[in-house]
Structure 1
């Protein structure tokens, strides 16, 4: 008779099974985004795809500004408060965060619509960019709400559902619109807005089903120190989130200023392909984030260290093969998108090297955020901003895509190294 599985083995299976569920949701994202990038770029051509990727970049930045760091803060507050039985406090944190995101999203949308033409004329020096920039404002608020609600589900330990809402649904729905025949630039932007609205509605329904958890319950867990107000947790994390979305976007925006739309389109495709490693890492890290917060709140340092090590191993196992394909066959990968995109092959190799560093030292910025060290993380990201900005200014005007790739690779590696060093310094028992 075979021996029964050991408890540690069952724990390991459950842990990686949870990651696998989130990876399946992110797999939908990969299918949706890669299909959207390939089919959309093929339908629009190199020139108009430059406008489309510019709009995607701008929407990503502005939706992040609209969230104000509340999406990351709500993960910590929901998980930490529920871990000690404070369901009402968790529910209040969700409502405060949602209200803040809606107000910020409306304000950012209005300002962007008002300045679409000046942005096109004076920043991008292309008056034809004004219309797609104006249309892209329709996506800002839905995407901000979609990401916030997805993160709230993560805070409830609903990893697969959270990843599906904030990352999986809208790319697949937008791709479905392309397959159905929506192949104009305007049509793709309208489809993107509608897809984000649909994902938000799905997330709201899933959250409503969990409303019974927002009540106080008895627990044997020690209460720990009270959490700060949600906005205090969100304030430093807002800087982190804005920097983390702006830094990948900054090389694209500067390349749009100094280069041709075809270069912007090709580099944007290469950049998004390279970020598949980041997708793997964040999907696993996002599932683990509420457990990081709960175990830190409960003072379970041994469990926190074990979880952190499992997360790093999982990212390395899933991410390293992706990097290998990018580095060893860049032209072939880009050719799958369409003719002409192979011009970014060297850039893809450089981007892959930067992602390899992050793959080997992943998710430590999430540990810092969930343990309440948002201020430290803010300084790390500000240092990234200085380095990335300097590299962009120095390298993009003379070297174009290659300069943009170097700047992007350096800031990816810099965060991984810096966050790992700070976790070892501030919480050596958690590394």
Structure 2
């Protein structure tokens, strides 16, 4: 058998090595989050675990609003500018985006502190949520900065490092704190803030150690000027908020109509199903700067090949865990803790939605990185409308199963919508 030429071997390593590294890091995240959820569920009990997951959901929403899309815009601008060797413009995008994220994160923290009391009573009907929300507010700015630092690393084509900062490090840090004796709800929420702060600082250190050096791959005359960073961020910020909202709304609606015990069980099942996004986001984050650079160079054959490669890798790595969760839903939830298996049917339904997402992945990333943020925004607003209307109909009437159907419906809608729009706007990359 003929051995591959060393140059061909290096090309394959360069092509797939980053994806393999990202998946290894996301595997660490999957194990860390699964252990974190299981340990939190056992230590806190169903009632306090429900409060913990509500706080976790709130922090995710607030931090996303605080970032306002500047992290995704930074990926496109950094990768796009470095594709032509524009290091100064890439650095400007990095600094401008960072300043906006700091301001937005502070604003989201202040808003949370102001509304924690009314929200705990008027929205959730749970006065005991007030103090946990106050503590959780401390995690909003660190999480916003952690995610922004990771996206800067994505733009610098350091996807594996970015995955570690954004997704793998902070769950492991919280888990270590819990294993060291932090067992109270207040302590775990404090560990959440400190873990995100540590991850953000690690990300900053990695950014400072990464040179902004790149050589133009094509003549400068072919470089189309990118829009202002805020113009890229504005639609993507709305997309990010909507995406986090449609994953949070089923939990928040259920909290208004069900007991904390049911909310806790559903939250565990919901977060287990969302671990499929571990695979999709891992591969999408590696592909994102490549999508941006290849699109700016107008290299359509390479962009199509990159898109097909990302979709194939998601399918190969995402389908097995979906099958396991659908076949052994009750067993997996029982391992988390006694009583959580009441959400087994809900887990199966939500995995069906993730199945569609896994078969049609990464097309939202394609739209975001190729200047179609406005289209993506309207697609996401459609998802939000579906989520709001269907949520009002399903959750009060069917409780946990209604929330599961709602989650699966909007996830499948997003995957189908983005795929159809890419096929319509850029048929050459499908």
Q: TM-score, normalised by structure 2?
A: 0.98
Contact 2:304–2:428 (Cα < 8 Å) also in 1: yes
**Greater shift after overlay, 20-29 or 86-95?**
20-29
Q: Give distance in 2, aligned partners of 1:271 and 1:204.
A: 31
Could you tell me how far 1:2 is from its partner in structure 2?
3.7
Aligned to 2:272: 273
Could you tell me how far 1:213 is from its partner in structure 2?
1.0
Contact 1:70–1:231 (Cα < 8 Å) also in 2: yes
Matches within 5 A, 1:61-140: 61-140=61-140
Contact 2:174–2:192 (Cα < 8 Å) also in 1: yes
Q: Give distance in 2, aligned partners of 1:321 and 1:345.
A: 18
Match of 1:213, SS state, is coil
Q: Give distance in 1, aligned partners of 2:84 and 2:277.
A: 32
Q: Give distance in 2, aligned partners of 1:7 and 1:408.
A: 46
Matches within 5 A, 1:22-37: 22-37=22-37
Aligned to 1:252: 251
Aligned to 1:383: 382
Aligned to 1:172: 172
Matches within 5 A, 1:27-426: 27-210=27-210, 212-213=211-212, 219-222=217-220, 223-426=222-425
Could you tell me how far 1:109 is from its partner in structure 2?
0.5
- Cα RMSD (Å) of the superposition? 1.3
Q: Give distance in 2, aligned partners of 1:252 and 1:98.
A: 30
Question: Deviation digits for residues 175-214 of structure 1, max 9, x if unmatched?
Answer: 001111111000000011010010011000000011x316
Could you tell me how far 1:4 is from its partner in structure 2?
2.9
Q: Give distance in 2, aligned partners of 1:52 and 1:39.
A: 12
Match of 1:190, SS state, is helix
Could you tell me how far 1:217 is from its partner in structure 2?
5.3
Question: Deviation digits for residues 230-265 of structure 1, max 9, x if unmatched?
Answer: 000000001100000010100100111111001111
Could you tell me how far 1:218 is from its partner in structure 2?
5.2
Q: TM-score, normalised by structure 1?
A: 0.97
Question: Deviation digits for residues 267-289 of structure 1, max 9, x if unmatched?
Answer: 11001111111110011011110
Where structure 2 has 5 or more consecutive residues not aligned to the other structure, the ranges are none
Contact 2:218–2:297 (Cα < 8 Å) also in 1: no
Contact 2:83–2:216 (Cα < 8 Å) also in 1: no
Contact 1:280–1:318 (Cα < 8 Å) also in 2: yes
Could you tell me how far 1:153 is from its partner in structure 2?
0.1
Contact 1:83–1:221 (Cα < 8 Å) also in 2: no
Could you tell me how far 1:7 is from its partner in structure 2?
5.8
Could you tell me how far 1:13 is from its partner in structure 2?
3.9
Q: Give distance in 1, aligned partners of 2:10 and 2:329.
A: 39
Q: Give distance in 2, aligned partners of 1:15 and 1:416.
A: 25
Q: Give distance in 1, aligned partners of 2:57 and 2:193.
A: 14
Match of 2:157, SS state, is coil
Contact 1:44–1:184 (Cα < 8 Å) also in 2: yes
Contact 1:81–1:89 (Cα < 8 Å) also in 2: yes
Structure 1 residues 416 and 221: alpha-carbon distance in aligned structure 2, compared to 1, 3 A threshold: farther
Could you tell me how far 1:108 is from its partner in structure 2?
1.1
Q: Give distance in 2, aligned partners of 1:328 and 1:6.
A: 43
Match of 2:348, SS state, is helix
Q: Give distance in 2, aligned partners of 1:4 and 1:136.
A: 53
Match of 1:183, SS state, is coil
Q: Give distance in 1, aligned partners of 2:351 and 2:9.
A: 34
Question: Deviation digits for residues 22-70 of structure 1, max 9, x if unmatched?
Answer: 1111112112111110001100000100000000000000000000000
Q: Give distance in 2, aligned partners of 1:10 and 1:102.
A: 40
Structure 1 residues 47 and 104: alpha-carbon distance in aligned structure 2, compared to 1, 3 A threshold: same
Q: Give distance in 1, aligned partners of 2:354 and 2:113.
A: 35
Match of 2:94, SS state, is helix
Could you tell me how far 1:8 is from its partner in structure 2?
5.8
Structure 1 residues 292 and 181: alpha-carbon distance in aligned structure 2, compared to 1, 3 A threshold: same
Where structure 1 has 5 or more consecutive residues not aligned to the other structure, the ranges are none
Q: Give distance in 2, aligned partners of 1:294 and 1:341.
A: 45
Question: Deviation digits for residues 76-109 of structure 1, max 9, x if unmatched?
Answer: 0000000011110000000000000000111110
